[in-house]
Chain A
Amino acid sequence: MHATASNAATPLERSAGTGRAAKDARNDLIFGGVLKACALIVLLSLIGAAGSTLWLGQDAFRTFGWGFLTSAAWDPSNDQYGALVPIMGTVGTAFIALLFAVPISFGIALFLTEIAPQWLRGPVASAIELLAGIPSIIYGMWGLFIFAPFVATHIKPWLMNNFSADPPDGQVSWLVQHVPFIAKFFSSEYPFFGAGVLTAGLVLAVMIIPFISSVMREVFQTVPTRLKESAYALGSSTWEVVWDIVVPYTRTAVIGGVFLGLGRALGETMAVAFVLGNTFKFSLSFLETGSSIASTIANQFGEAQGLQRSALMAIAFLLFVVTFIVLLIARLMLRRLATKEGN
């Protein structure tokens, strides 16, 4: 009786069950496929963008060969182009931006998650998000009208007096006389002119601080209170808790945030075009004017024709390459760090 009942019930149940399972499996497959397509769209559009800049820049690559990477020429009237100065300007300004933005963002995020009184956290956090929303042209105008003149009157003369071989006050400092090469990084033809690599880097730093600090703040908040409290219970200071608990726990996400900022710094156009000085002269100095890839394209694309247009496309492709290399180096560093810790 029991057997027949179960026998009678089983096929029905089974068929319903298998039907449902098959449907589920099919739906999972579709869902998985949709997700995969979403992810692949990113990859495809990236390859498409890089490929089309390479395609449109092929004239320039073919004409100048590898010399395109090492030449500092940018001479539209004689159709001679080289990417060295824009590449250096791009990497240099982004480096300076990170140098200033990362520690400051770290401080902001720690203050907001660990130290700030409750009533202050909200306003400061909204202020940061507001900063992130300001369009870059506004930063460019601010840089041009307010910050560059400030650098010219207060920061640059001081730096040049102390670190350059040709200081405005005429007295070469002890440091420059005794430390070789340092003067190379702090020379400038125009001591009282604010625009340059350092200025552009600082403006970029202000622009990327909101990105980096808000990511850091978010991830610092994910550290379980239990971990921190245990460390405090063992007598750790706030600094020790942060350095030994919070930072290791969130490292990957923090570095992700830094790269978000770096990406913006490498590709920023308008702000840099206003405060970089836009010259194509090879120099190692932070105080000299320069060009970046993005600003060069923005400056010249509207009027460019023929080989010049192709050269602009070629440096656009190089921006992909530079960004890729920078990300690769960061990944490798991260992996080395992980192996060192034994993870």
Chain B
Amino acid sequence: MFTRKLRIAALVAASLFGMSAVQATDITGAGSSFVYPVLSKWSAKYAETTGNKINYQSVGSGAGIAQIKEGTIDFGASDAPLSSEDLTKFGLGQFPSVVGGIVPIVNLQGVTAGQLKLTGPVLADIFMGKVARWNDPAIAALNPGVKLPDVKVTVVHRSDGSGTSFNFTNYLSKVSNEWASKVKFGTAVDWPTGVGGKGNEGVSQYVRQIPGSIGYVEYAYAKKNKISYAQMQNAAGKWVQPTAETFGAAAATADWASAKDFNLIMTNAAGDQAWPITATTWIIMYKKSKNPSHTKVAFDFFKFAFDKGQADAASLDYVALPTSLTQKIQAYWNSDFNK
């Protein structure tokens, strides 16, 4: 009886003093909006088990990079990897966090989701404005049996600087020399044709409104909003649908071994099953920590996410990193950090 009372008192005290009772550490991160949904879900789970909170501000990759360089946050998140020079100059290291897919979405009457087939070079020509009608021989040759209308192609791209655009244009640069030399790739580029929608929301809304339009969004958006998307031919020459398996295959078969500091954009990955426009977000941290206790929590958090975060990632249409890759990342933590 007495012990029970004591236990209740202890419980009340613990709940009153809350976090201080378990000596929680709050760490801060900022950057990419691409990872925001999954990071916030992970951090909620992590806080439940450890009491440590992760405050993540989704302010955009550029701002995240700027803040980690200034040292005002514990980790930054960027949809584009930092160059080796930048990493060395600021004493930073980086590693991938989670995988997501980018899909071409189309508004074509009578064409169902995943039915339309596109290759990288044709997709690049469409976004260059060179393939201007849907019944163009270049598209028709890939799609025997699909009734393609004689309608003008309207390209819809992102108007805001974004990691989605970065990875999409990076892919087009890899599959089209003309794109690589003229338009290049980046979070925002000088689009040769088309109109710009703000955010995934804006792009998917414009695509719905314009008959004969083609855009690109994160897979989760296309799936949630039931927009028709295209299947793609990958680097191995196989036709693939955007699914968790093909995103995961891209992450597993990308050439990480030769990439120093994981400085590799995984579009156009080599695997048979790899979805060609697959993206990740890099977590950027100081190799020699400015605040060791915070860094320790940050590593613990990402280890937790890699080990136990698959289900949460999948529920939001992300794919957790394959084990082969998380092992590489943890080896990298041990070898390169806290020197």
CB distance from B208 to the nearest CB of A (A): 9
Which residue of A73, A75, A273, A302 contacts B59 across the interface (Cβ within 8 Å)? A302
- Residue on A with the closest CB to B160? A299
**What residues of chain B lie closer than 8 Å to A136, measured between beta carbons?**
none
Among B101-135, those with CB < 8 Å from A are: none
**What residues of chain A lie closer than 8 Å to B184, measured between beta carbons?**
77-78
Whether B161 contacts A302 by the Cβ 8 Å rule is yes
Whether B189 contacts A194 by the Cβ 8 Å rule is no
CB distance from B150 to the nearest CB of A (A): 14
| A289 CB–B CB distance under 8 Å | yes
Which residues on B are within 8 Å of A, measured CB to CB?
A: 59-63, 65-66, 154, 159-163, 169, 183-191, 194-198, 202, 205-206, 209-211
CB distance from A253 to the nearest CB of B (A): 37
Whether B62 contacts A74 by the Cβ 8 Å rule is no
Q: How far is the CA of A298 from the CA of B197 in the complex (A)?
A: 13
Whether A273 contacts B198 by the Cβ 8 Å rule is yes
**What residues of chain B lie closer than 8 Å to A148, measured between beta carbons?**
209
**What residues of chain B lie closer than 8 Å to A273, measured between beta carbons?**
159-160, 198
| A32 CB–B CB distance under 8 Å | no
- Also in contact, A303 and B61, with CB within 8 A (given A148-B209, A152-B209, A192-B211): yes
Q: How far is the CA of A304 from the CA of B186 in the complex (A)?
A: 10
- Residue on A with the closest CB to B173? A77
**What residues of chain B lie closer than 8 Å to A78, measured between beta carbons?**
184, 190
- Residue on B with the closest CB to A145? B205
A-B contacts, CB under 8 A, total: 99
**What residues of chain A lie closer than 8 Å to B209, measured between beta carbons?**
148-149, 152, 193-194
Among A295-310, those with CB < 8 Å from B are: 295, 298-305, 308-309
Whether A75 contacts B190 by the Cβ 8 Å rule is yes
CB distance from A192 to the nearest CB of B (A): 6
**What residues of chain B lie closer than 8 Å to A289, measured between beta carbons?**
195-196
Contact with B along A259-299 (1 / 0, CB 8 A): 00000000000000110011110000000010000010011
| A17 CB–B CB distance under 8 Å | no
Residue with the greatest number of chain B CB neighbours at <10 A, chosen from A80, A144, A289, A302: A302
Given A144-B202, A279-B194, A305-B62: 6 more A-B contacts, CB < 8 Å: A76-B187, A77-B169, A190-B154, A299-B161, A299-B188, A302-B59
CB distance from B309 to the nearest CB of A (A): 26
Q: How far is the CA of A145 from the CA of B62 in the complex (A)?
A: 29
What are the nearest 8 A-B pairs in CB distance?
A302-B60, A303-B161, A278-B159, A278-B196, A75-B190, A77-B184, A303-B187, A299-B160
**What residues of chain B lie closer than 8 Å to A149, measured between beta carbons?**
209
Could you list 18 A-B pairs, sorted by A, with CB under 8 Å?
A73-B190, A74-B190, A76-B190, A77-B183, A77-B186, A190-B210, A192-B211, A193-B209, A195-B195, A274-B202, A277-B195, A280-B190, A289-B196, A299-B198, A301-B60, A302-B61, A303-B61, A305-B62
**What residues of chain B lie closer than 8 Å to A277, measured between beta carbons?**
159, 195-196
**What residues of chain B lie closer than 8 Å to A274, measured between beta carbons?**
198, 202
- Residue on B with the closest CB to A296? B159
Q: How far is the CA of A302 from the CA of B205 in the complex (A)?
A: 22
Whether B198 contacts A278 by the Cβ 8 Å rule is yes
Residue with the greatest number of chain A CB neighbours at <10 A, chosen from B62, B169, B184, B197: B62
Whether A279 contacts B196 by the Cβ 8 Å rule is yes
Residue with the greatest number of chain B CB neighbours at <10 A, chosen from A148, A279, A299: A299
Residue with the greatest number of chain A CB neighbours at <10 A, chosen from B195, B205, B210: B195
- Also in contact, A279 and B202, with CB within 8 A (given A190-B154, A302-B59): no
Residue with the greatest number of chain A CB neighbours at <10 A, chosen from B63, B188, B205: B188
CB distance from B239 to the nearest CB of A (A): 30
Which residue of A76, A80, A192, A298 contacts B188 across the interface (Cβ within 8 Å)? A76
- Residue on A with the closest CB to B205? A144
**What residues of chain A lie closer than 8 Å to B160, measured between beta carbons?**
273, 298-300, 302-303
Whether B188 contacts A300 by the Cβ 8 Å rule is yes
Whether B62 contacts A302 by the Cβ 8 Å rule is yes
**What residues of chain B lie closer than 8 Å to A295, measured between beta carbons?**
159
**What residues of chain B lie closer than 8 Å to A278, measured between beta carbons?**
159, 195-198
Whether A300 contacts B161 by the Cβ 8 Å rule is yes
Whether B206 contacts A193 by the Cβ 8 Å rule is yes
